[in-house]
Structure 1
């Protein structure tokens, strides 16, 4: 029996969560041969057997994640399937596969599945729904509802999607995140704190300090703390052995370090203007991301101010030379430093 048939058999006769886990491992193994996995997946999603349809969706989702060329066909196949599908287990695989396509045409179906009675379906909707959330109020509203889901895993992922993957801001988003700051689930609570920190909500500083004090935080939380950039967090950060994440957070939270970075950015702007007065450039920061970015030529080229500064040991004139070398009129086209 091949691994795909074995996975189908496990799903067909599943009696415990471990059977689904084993089937998922077999799907992952089968996807190592992407061409065969896609071929079998497209055939299985048309099967009358729900176990085969589920495994077919899982195969197509895995392939779509890594093969952009197949995503359009996967999307259309899954949209055709969902029109008649009634099995919750298949709906869960559909929701995940729609997210794997990265296609905003999947959003209407995901929104419909967001109200599904099955918690696995709602989980994969939360996993997938950041698609288009910058411009789609309906997506944000669905994520907000899912952050209050009765199931811990659904709340956790929806809070991560809303707080970190989604760059939108507003009172409804912040209220939803604040509602999770006291969540019984540790991971949902941390995601809420990170989401508020990314939006530079100073009220979350004591909660961020407690996370640092407890020591149980993720790299995502450190990035959020860097966005927050509050001096009150410096003593907590200094307690840790410095790595890239700690250094970045310290650089944003320590007023002296941030002032030195800002002075370098100002010096770089002066040096660029002196060297290339005709250059269209600007320095900006994103509300939900730490650090500063230099953009030039209508936002076509980008450099991290912090990385430029490190490369030139703080010399803005040398940094301007590197930028000039990366522009098409003075050298080969450049990208982020």
Structure 2
């Protein structure tokens, strides 16, 4: 126990020295160790430090408490979260409040979602960013609530570019949901003055097969002498539309011999945009369903696929024949081209999803 206490003491002592990368790295290492060991003595010290006069002590407490005991499912949540919320509501230091709200989100307890969302209008951009970063990663038992969705849409137009970037990333890539409201929010950021936000908007629209993304990607890859970024190539792969094929092949010829991440990305986009890809995907999907159903035979569960390439979704089907939507759907072709190498990985994904859904239903 003395060793754990010594690490806590060392973490607090770091706040007395200069701020630099080495200090940050050591603090992060100490925090992880304390979270993993989850000693009762450290829990009491961290809870007490939430009301300490020194802001560094309060920040250290927030860092440790957010994921305290995470390898064991955060067993102290009932004691930790009310105190973190109380401290966040009372905190006047913007940096400390940001860390406390971040801790509230990192607890990953959807029961506290509304409390987390209540900080979305905080005057400090860092606090709003903590909300934008946390909301998409919550372990929702069903599609995200309307309030969570509305909050992220609002944050995607925040005055601060880092808040917009994280919210747009959440809407576009971390959530698979599709709706007119989500597409409108992403479309509004397509020409954002912040290039990272604009890139996330393009990628999010491409993942949904939106015509605006197709038109934008085609214009970008057809423009002569233009530098083609990885995000544009990733968006082309997400769209998987044969109309992009000629321009992508021209880029591949121009880059022949480079053998770097850009040439890998354009080769992947070409494979995804091949006119024969949809039929190959359909045949492979049939093999996947057969293989998964064989592996879960006798359980009453089976695999359901909805949609078509490149946006085919994977769902568990319950013994009563209904599709179980208690989990986020798997995306069969996420970061995959339709070839035989995809089968084993997707079969494992399907079996795992079915087991998780069955376990939730007891």
Q: CA deviation at 1:290?
A: 4.2
Counterpart check, 1:49 vs 2:62 = no
Relative to the length of structure 2, the TM-score reads 0.68
Aligned residue in 2 for 1:179: 188
Q: Secondary structure at the match of 1:33?
A: helix
Counterpart check, 1:235 vs 2:265 = no
Residues 10-159 of structure 1: matches in 2 within 5 Å?
A: 19=19, 24-34=24-34, 35=37, 39=43, 40-61=45-66, 63=68, 68-70=73-75, 72=77, 73-130=79-136, 131=138, 132=140, 134-159=143-168
304 and 83 in structure 1: CA distance in 2 versus 1, 3 angstrom threshold? closer
Which ranges of structure 1 fall in alignment gaps of 5 or more residues? 328-332
Query: How many pairs were matched up?
Result: 310
Whole-Å separation in 2 of the counterparts to 1:85 and 1:294: 43
Q: 1:231-274, CA deviations, whole angstroms, 9 ceiling, x for partnerless residues?
A: 12223444355887656544432221222222344577689999
Aligned partners of 1:198 and 1:287 also within 8 Å: no
Which ranges of structure 2 fall in alignment gaps of 5 or more residues? 1-5, 253-258, 325-329, 357-362
Q: CA RMSD in A?
A: 4.3
Aligned partners of 1:181 and 1:190 also within 8 Å: yes
Relative to the length of structure 1, the TM-score reads 0.73
Whole-Å separation in 2 of the counterparts to 1:26 and 1:272: 45
Aligned partners of 1:95 and 1:110 also within 8 Å: yes
Aligned partners of 2:240 and 2:310 also within 8 Å: no
Q: 1:282-322, CA deviations, whole angstroms, 9 ceiling, x for partnerless residues?
A: 5524689745648666579x99587996259x9xxxx9xx9
Aligned partners of 1:281 and 1:296 also within 8 Å: yes
Q: Secondary structure at the match of 2:15?
A: helix
Whole-Å separation in 1 of the counterparts to 2:218 and 2:194: 18
146 and 21 in structure 1: CA distance in 2 versus 1, 3 angstrom threshold? farther
Q: CA deviation at 1:90?
A: 1.8
Aligned residue in 1 for 2:277: 257
Q: Secondary structure at the match of 1:86?
A: coil
225 and 189 in structure 1: CA distance in 2 versus 1, 3 angstrom threshold? same
Aligned partners of 1:234 and 1:253 also within 8 Å: yes
Q: CA deviation at 1:116?
A: 0.9
* Aligned mate of 2:230, from 187, 193, 217: 217
Q: CA deviation at 1:177?
A: 0.7
